[in-house]
Amino acid sequence: MRGGGCLMLMLMLCAALALRPGAPPGGGGSAPSFRQRLRSAVVEPQVLAAARALHDEWGRPRGGPPRRETRGGRGMGHLGSAYGVRPRFLAAASTEESIPPEGRPEVAVIGRSNVGKSSLLNVLTGTAGLSRVSDKPGRTTQLTWFEVGRRSSADSFWLVDMPGYGFALASEAAVEAWARLSAAYLRKRSTIKLVLVLVDARVGLKPSDVQMLQFLEAEARLPYLVVLTKADAAGPPQRIAQVAALVQSGLKSARRQLRPLALVSSQRKAGVDALQRRIICAATGRSDLLPEATAPAPRGRGGGRGAAGAARGRGGRGGRGGGGGGTGVRRAR
């Protein structure tokens, strides 16, 4: 096979699953367009409420200035706020041999090239430039670890930035090397608690996204959370909810997905607090580390509290085979 822009060349060792990008099962006739599928999408009230809450959170129509983050403002700020220290660079690996030894629970972040991964990581860590933002697909070429929390803390964990998949401005050999590295890491790392799979909220699932989800389901057997990024550029709440419905319809047979999926805008810093809580709960099994965020006033029916479900933590490698995961927060005892 050729087409050096596809990271998934080396990941497709799994059998085909019934995970589909929202298209109807086979049959005659041409496939409906993305717009047609959007119009026919069955929107969940909970997701629509979350999309409305996201718009309320940034409080301005698209094109206005983003909400500024201020000291003492609403929300927790960044992942390190629960620990009193900012996340910091820990290690990087461009080969399997250079991957650091397992130490702390890990949350990995992956997505198609230019899905907004670096921007989201910078917002999550509260450190501009910690992950380099670029318009060129394929900028991230190695695994990068960031330490969240104090090294001496029993509740610290590692956040892992992974190379993007899909089109990349790189040679076929380089892309295949990234694929081997990513596949080895996801298959063998017993300390991974959660994989964040970033999906562009403007376009929904692409074939490479579906392939990655298949790999996580059947080969790596890891729990994952689908995060819809760039929600501020995806249109009004109804359209965001329609895209989310299409994405979820493509995951009907998913067993390892944590629901509900997450909605974020890195540009507006909206939806980030809820995502941070789910990350920390998945990594540590605790929710009492976090201050309660002040929610924006709900708009319309249903309010805006439905998006803040928390991922459950899991044990070691043996705990990966569990179901798709609840949306509630389990408090530490």
How far is 314 from 106, CA to CA, in rounded Å? 11
**pLDDT of amino acid 6:** 43
The pLDDT of residue 238 is 93
**Alpha-carbon dihedral of residues 308, 309, 312, 313, nearest 10 degrees?**
-10
Could you tell me where the DSSP H helices lie in the chain? 34-40, 45-58, 117-125, 172-188, 207-214, 237-249, 272-284
β-strands 106-111, 192-200 pairing: parallel
User: Which domains are delineated in the chain?
Assistant: 40-63+75-317 (3.40.50.300)
d(CA 216, CA 302): 33
Q: Which two tokens stand for residue 155?
A: 């509740």
What pLDDT does 327 receive? 33
Q: What is the Cα–Cα distance from 36 to 187, expressed in whole angstroms?
A: 37
pLDDT digits (tens, 9 = 90+) for 54-73: 888 876 544 444 444 433 33
pLDDT at 33: 83
Residues 6 or more apart whose Cβ sits within 8 Å of residue 10 = 176, 179, 180, 183
State the pLDDT at residue 170.
Answer: 57
Say what the pTM is: 0.75
Q: Which pLDDT tens digit goes with each residue over 99-116?
A: 999 999 999 999 998 899
Q: Which pLDDT value is given to residue 58? A: 75
What is the mean pLDDT for each group of 10 consecutive residues in the chain (333 residues)?
Answer: 42 37 44 81 88 80 44 54 84 94 97 90 79 49 90 90 74 78 95 98 94 95 97 93 92 92 93 93 85 48 38 41 35 32
Work out whether strand 157-161 and strand 106-111 pair parallel, antiparallel, or are unpaired: parallel
pLDDT for residue 299? 43
C-alpha–C-alpha distance, residues 109 and 225, integer Å: 10
Residue 191 confidence (pLDDT): 98
- Cis, bond preceding 65 (omega within 30 deg of 0): no
- In 3-state terms, what secondary structure has residue 150? coil
